[in-house]
């Protein structure tokens, strides 16, 4: 439905859930849409653990995006159950769902399972075929898009590259078409509802996932203990919680090398986020089986764990 001049004079505001299997580019898309890094990204699946709200305001309206953990089969840990519930609950009451799929990945059981949840909601759905920059012959994608349309019943399908597309005017305009009329819910200069402490902890965790290998990053979390302005800088003291004693040495590294790399990389992003000089001090502790303990997860900010 094209946008008319009358529509352009009408302010629209609504919520948009970004859903998909792990590692399809949901967080990258959110960061590009709001114009700033608020959701961490790595090449490892299941990087996002919480719902991250990103806010984009323009003359025509305000879009409130909700990035979600990827829906997955692992249900054993309390943390995994929380992530699945978080992904599913994000679709409740939204005005639009963006369903991301990977242009290079075959449709499978995980997509079928997510589509089942998507169909339980009456709001419009736009399927985003992401990472088309990895496809050499773009015309070869047409049969795949047609197959997706026939299989899913979703006929509004947009191919994009969340990482490399120069701009998203077409996508933003299409999203705005589906939103109801309404006043903005957030100030126009606000881009997320998450606190700076939360974003700082996430940036440190992102660097841990990048510098550590195999399963260790999934058994870590980060807690910001001190966040205090001191003159022209911000003092941040954070604790990295590992599940097993043996992991502590790996995180610190020989002569503290790994922890130093994590700190340097994280501080750079944190300074960009805060626009201030940062004194970042990292500590490593062991908290056995934190990802399996519902009470510990609540203390770390993972809510809604009793459902």
pLDDT in tens, 181-238: 999 999 999 999 888 998 999 899 889 988 887 667 677 889 899 999 998 899 999 9
Q: Which residue has the higher pLDDT, 9 or 233?
A: 233
* pTM for the structure as a whole: 0.78
Of the candidates 218, 193, 202, 278, the residue with the CA atom closest to the CA atom of residue 45: 218
Residue 21 in this model has a pLDDT that exceeds 60: yes
- pLDDT attached to residue 306: 44
- pLDDT attached to residue 86: 63
* pLDDT band (50, 70, 90) for residue 84: low
Mean of the pLDDT values across residues 98-105? 85
Mean of the pLDDT values across residues 22-33? 86
CATH entry, 5-177, from 3.40.50.2300, 3.40.50.300, 3.40.50.720, 2.60.40.3140 = 3.40.50.300
What is the CATH code of the structural domain delimited by 196-299? 3.30.300.20
Q: Which residue has the higher pLDDT, 44 or 153?
A: 153
Q: Which residue has the higher pLDDT, 11 or 52?
A: 11
Rg (CA), the chain: 20
pLDDT in tens, 112-162: 888 888 888 889 999 999 888 888 787 777 887 888 888 788 878 888 888
- pLDDT attached to residue 179: 95
Partnered with residue 16 across adjacent β-strands are: 65, 96
pLDDT in tens, 282-306: 999 998 877 777 777 776 666 554 4
pLDDT in tens, 250-283: 999 999 999 999 999 999 999 999 999 999 999 9
Q: Which residues make Cβ contacts (< 8 Å) with residue 138, sequence separation at least 6?
A: 132, 159
Residue 82 in this model has a pLDDT that exceeds 80: no
Contact 85, 57 (CB under 8 A): no
Residue 5 in this model has a pLDDT that exceeds 60: no
- pLDDT attached to residue 246: 86
Q: Which residues make Cβ contacts (< 8 Å) with residue 46, sequence separation at least 6?
A: 22, 23, 69, 70, 72, 83, 218
Q: Which residues make Cβ contacts (< 8 Å) with residue 79, sequence separation at least 6?
A: 49, 291, 292, 297, 302
Q: What is the C-alpha to C-alpha distance for residues 190 and 57, in angstroms, rounded to an integer?
A: 8
| End-to-end alpha carbon distance in the chain | 39
CA angle 192, 197, 21 (to 5 degrees): 55
Lowest mean pLDDT among 3-17, 71-85, 129-143: 71-85
Q: Where in the chain is the domain with CATH 3.40.50.300?
A: 5-177
- pLDDT attached to residue 1: 44
Q: Where in the chain is the domain with CATH 3.30.300.20?
A: 196-299
């Amino acid at each position: 439905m094209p946008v008319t001049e009358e529509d352009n004079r009408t302010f629209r505001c609504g919520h948009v859930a970004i859903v998909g299997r792990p590692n399809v580019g949901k967080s990258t898309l959110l960061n590009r849409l709001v114009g700033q890094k608020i959701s961490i990204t790595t090449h490892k699946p299941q990087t996002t653990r919480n719902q991250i709200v990103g806010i984009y305001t323009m003359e025509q309206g305000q879009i409130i995006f909700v990035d979600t953990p990827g829906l997955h089969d692992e249900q054993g840990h309390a943390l995994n159950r929380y992530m699945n519930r978080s992904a599913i609950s994000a679709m409740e009451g939204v005005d639009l769902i963006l369903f991301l799929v990977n242009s290079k990945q075959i449709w499978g059981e995980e997509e079928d399972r997510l589509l089942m949840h998507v169909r339980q909601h009456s709001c419009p759905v736009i399927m985003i075929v992401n990472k088309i920059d990895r496809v050499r012959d773009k015309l070869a994608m047409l049969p795949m898009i047609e197959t997706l349309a026939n299989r899913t019943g979703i006929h509004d399908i947009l191919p994009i590259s969340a990482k490399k597309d120069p701009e998203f005017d077409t996508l933003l305009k299409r999203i705005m078409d589906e939103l109801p009329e309404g006043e903005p819910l957030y100030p126009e200069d606000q881009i997320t509802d998450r606190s700076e402490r939360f974003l700082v902890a996430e940036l440190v965790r992102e660097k841990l996932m990048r510098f550590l290998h195999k399963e260790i990053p999934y058994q870590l979390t980060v807690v910001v203990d001190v966040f205090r302005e001191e003159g022209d800088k911000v003092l941040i003291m954070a604790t990295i919680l590992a599940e097993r004693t043996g992991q502590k040495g790996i995180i610190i590294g020989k002569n503290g090398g790994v922890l130093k790399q994590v700190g340097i990389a994280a501080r750079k992003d944190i300074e960009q986020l805060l626009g201030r000089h940062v004194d970042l001090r990292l500590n490593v502790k062991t908290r056995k089986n934190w990802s399996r303990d519902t009470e510990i997860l609540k203390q770390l900010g993972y809510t809604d764990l009793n459902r």
